[in-house]
Structures are given as C-alpha cells and as structure tokens.
Structure 1
Amino acid sequence: MNVLFFSSKVYDSTFFNAANQAYSHQLSYLEAPLNKKTALLAKEHEAICIFVNDTANAEVLRLLAEGGIKLIALRCAGFNNVDLEAAAALGIKVVRVPAYSPYSVAEHTLALILTLNRKTHRAYNRVKEGNFALNGLMGFDLHGKTVGLIGLGKIGLVTARILKGFGCRVLGYDVEKKKEFDEIGIEFTDLAALYANSDIISLHCPLTPQTSHLINRSTIAQMKQGVMLINTSRGALVDTKAVIAGLKSGHIRYLGIDVYEEEADLFFEDLSDRVIQDDVFMRLLSFNNVLITGHQAFFTSNALESIAAITLQNITTFEQGKPLENEVKA
C-alpha cells in the first residue's frame, strides 16, 4: 500500500524502512503533523500513519476521506486523538499498536521514581561543578513503600512486577480484576483507598472522557501528604494547574511526568533557541522537585522495532481484506 507518515522523525523512517523489507509497502514521510492544513497532502495515498499528537478530528477525517484515505494506522497504543465515530461514518478503518514493549514504559517509570527520590539529576550537576556536598540530596528506601498503580494493563503489570522486586507493597486499580493481580501480589482496591494509602502513585491508564483530569484538586486532597506522583501515560489524565497548587502547598512532594496535557506544541521538537510561551509548563519547570522528560518512555530500540513490525502488519492485514485484530472502533 501507499502509506504517508505524519509527524515522522529520522528514527521513524530508519525503523520502518528496515521492517518494510518484509512487506514492500510504499512509505513516504512528512515531518509535519496531521491537521486540517496538512490533511490534503495525503491525497494519492491509500493509508496514513500517525502518532500521539496528530489531529484526526471530524474535519480532518472528512478531508482525508475526500482524498481517498481508507485506513489510519496509529503507531502507538493511544487513540484519543482520533474521532472514531466520524471515522466509522466515513468508512475509514483505524488500527493501532496495543502493545509494543511494556518494559520500555515501565522501566522509564522506575527511572523517574528513582531519580526523583535519590536526586541523581541534581547530584550529577553538582559533581560536574566540583560540589560534593550531600545537603539536599537525601532520599528514602523504596523498599517497604506503598505504590499505587492506576491502570493495570500490560505496562501496569510490568511496573508492578518491578516494584515488587524492590520490596514495595503494590496497590492497584483497574476497571476489572484479572488473575495476574494475585499472582504478582497486587492488592486490588478502589481509588479512594489507593489515594489514601499510597506513598507513590503512578498512572498507566488510557485517556478517555472518564479519565480526563483524573488527578484534580479533589483527588489530590485525598492523597497522602508528601505523595510522589508519576505520569508516563497520557498528559490530560492530570489537571496541571491543580498539581501546581499541590506542589506549592507541599501536598505533592515529588512530580515525575513524561507526558503533558498541552505537549503537542512542545514535545518532539528542539525549542532550545526559542522562548517557550506556555506559562503553565514553565511554572512546572521552576520546581526543583519536578522531573519532566519529553514523551520518551516508549523510546527504546526494542519498542521501535515492535511498533514498526506491528504497524506494517496491520496495514498488510487491511490490504489483504482480513479481519483487523488491532482495529479500534467507536
């Protein structure tokens, strides 16, 4: 199939071209994101491949359908940026990568926890300047701490296994209980109990109308004083302004995020020579107990190889008219 990639980077073309040797699709790459201004560029293609911050609302989908697009292949797990009802009405199929390397995101979650706790990022800068003082670098033993995981899909379960290896008590919440929870040693509970008892809370759930701003002033008030909050899932799960208020009051003692609710205008680009206009984001950067990475939790060679292979297989399955195992429906 003739496939156009939006929001593509050098690493995308590298991994997809390598994986495509087994499929022989015609792949073209655009660095520009998908939106109403760029949708017309997809004309003459049969399918497009998009990422987390591309816009596929009803207006964009209409333009894509008029240009002959029949398939949208998401090279990610999340699909909240696609209007699925509009896609169905226009006859556009949507497929995704439901799981690539859950270890990549789970391990990055632990990297954020450990860095915030032991302040290795601050120690690194101090030592480079010849400052070997330990004041302000004290952490705590992760062993014995209670960690609450909201969302227990593949990533959440891998995170739980790692945390159990550290000797943590793991509380978990999901929409349904699975047999793996008992096998791993996860204490399945409700959100109220998870908020009240967790020293660390980590988010691993999808963004839906029900989970949007799941972390807000009300839920933060239910958490332990001095809680550590980690988000490697979707930015809009967190009300950033409410979290800033929690940081200022000291209720939230540590914040580690790999995603941000307004990240589309920031992440995946080099903005080092510009003045960032997002005042809320810049306020977050001003806290010395906040650690932000730019949506890199997925970014391992293992994950990119898997994403490329699954995405191209999804496209091939559509081309062959077979049932779409990874289709996303309204």
Structure 2
Amino acid sequence: MNTSTRDRAIGAVLGSAAGDALGAGYEFRPAVPEPTPIRMAGGGSFGWAPGEWTDDTSMAVPILRTLARGGDPASEVALDGLVAAWADWARTAPDVGIQTRNVLTGLEARTAVSARAAARQEHEFRGRSAGNGSLMRTAPLVLGYLTGTVDEEPRLAEAARAISDLTHYESDAGDACVLWCVAIRKAVLTGELDVMAGLDLLDLDKRRIWVDRIVTAEHSEPVDFTDSNGWVVSAFQAAYAAVRRSTGLEDALVRAVRTGNDTDTVAAIAGGLAGALYGASALPGEWRELLHGWPRLRAGDLVALSEQALDPRSAAV
C-alpha cells in the first residue's frame, strides 16, 4: 500500500472521530449558519471536554480493535466480541442512543445471536429501527478490506450488514452501511467520491430507492435534512451533501456540524468519507492534538490501531 492510500485509510478513522468530537458541543441544537465559527470546544448536553469523542467513535473502537487483531469481523466470534465490548461500554457511557441502549440492556447473553434477537424485538416494539447508530460507527471496518481482491467488496458488504444488524434490524440501516463502506473503500483506493459504487450489493428492489435518495442529497444542502437526521437515511443524505460540497476535510466536517440536531453523528459519518478522500494529513493539527475519548485513547492510539488493522501481522493488540 502506497503512502497516499495509507494516509487516506487512516484518514477515514481520524476523520470520523474528529467529526464526532467537533459536533459534540452542538448536538440537539439548531443549525448554525455562517459566519458563526464552528470550534472543537466541547460542552453540549453531556459536558464534553474539548476534542472528546462521543458514542459514535466509542462504538467504532471495538471494530477497529477487531481488525487490528487480525480477526474476521463478520465471524460469529468477532461479532460476539463486539457485543460484549459494547455492552461493557454502555453500562457507564452517558450518551448511548435510545435504540442501541435498549438493545444492549435487553440482552439475554452477550452474544451476536442475543443481540440480533434484541434488535428485532426492539424493532417490533417500536415499529421502526432505522436510526443512524450503526452508520455512525462503520468507517473503521473498511480498513480490513483494502487488498484489492475480487471478492473484497461483497465481503465488506456482508460484514457491514452483519455489524449493523447487531443493533439495527431495519434494512435501511444495513443498506446505508453497505453503501457508505463501499464509498469509503473506493475513496481510499482511488481518491474518488462515489456513493453509488455499492448499489449492486443491495437487493434489487432497494437500488432505485437509494438512487433517488442519493440524487436528492446531491441537489440539497446538509441543513435540508436537519429535522430528521436521527434517521439513517437523512443522516446519510446530510453527510453526503456535506462531503460533496466540501473543499477539504475541515470544510466537510464544519458543513456537517452546521446542520444542527444530531451534529456529532452526521459529522462522524461525513468524516469517515471525507477523511478517506482527503487523508489524515488534512486534519488540522489543533484538532488532532485535542482528539481523545473512551477508552482513554488519543489520536495517536487511533493511528496505531489503524496501522495494525492495515497490517494485522505487524503487532498484537
């Protein structure tokens, strides 16, 4: 893997975490119009420290660690490990999403089987389960699928959907994760932005629906989705609109945060794709210095885990 590709791969992880931390202080607030500056100042509903990431990145870290260990993230063993790690985290985390918390606290056992059953039960109880909580954590998964083999995209799609299904039963959540992961992978490998690259990996009857959603986002501003951006489709559209209009990584994250409402999650989603386009080297140094969060990690730790995920034989975690 050449230096630019590696920079973009690590950028997907750092970009997502930075978007999360940048948006933390603006969550559940109205849209922030220009020229009001967007700062990584912390605060918000949970009193975050400057640069502290939230549940978006906290749930992504166990996925990154799975890859760093060289595990197959779609295997039942790995999925069991994710459920156990998330359940431990959720016991003390202040900011677990309602749907995710209900699933993780309703487990009969800390296993993937139990999580899928709890996710389905939550869906049947609420009548919906397409929140943005699985899309927000998906970016690190791509680092395990960058060797360029023929079957890599289908395997990435399978893993993305399997991890989404642990907490989000509805197919829109899994579809969004598939499309976003494939788009991140393409950005890492080619430097190109193409969120339709994974359409063939969706069920045939869903492809036209997603094309319409993506085209709508292409003709919209991120703020057009503010009122509903807790829904995975609107979060996807807002994040894509932010990245598509951006001139760089910082600009993409600021545009995402300006949307208001679920700012940390929209910016975390946008940051995964924008980081894959522009690279870790495009992240402002001040933000990188501030970046930290559960479980007592900093930006350098995310970089080290990403390096190990890109070459899991290089170190044991």
TM-score, scaled to structure 1: 0.32
More helix by share: 2
TM-score, scaled to structure 2: 0.33
| Greater RCO (CA < 8 Å, at least 6 residues apart) | 2
More strand by share: 1
- Rg larger for: 1
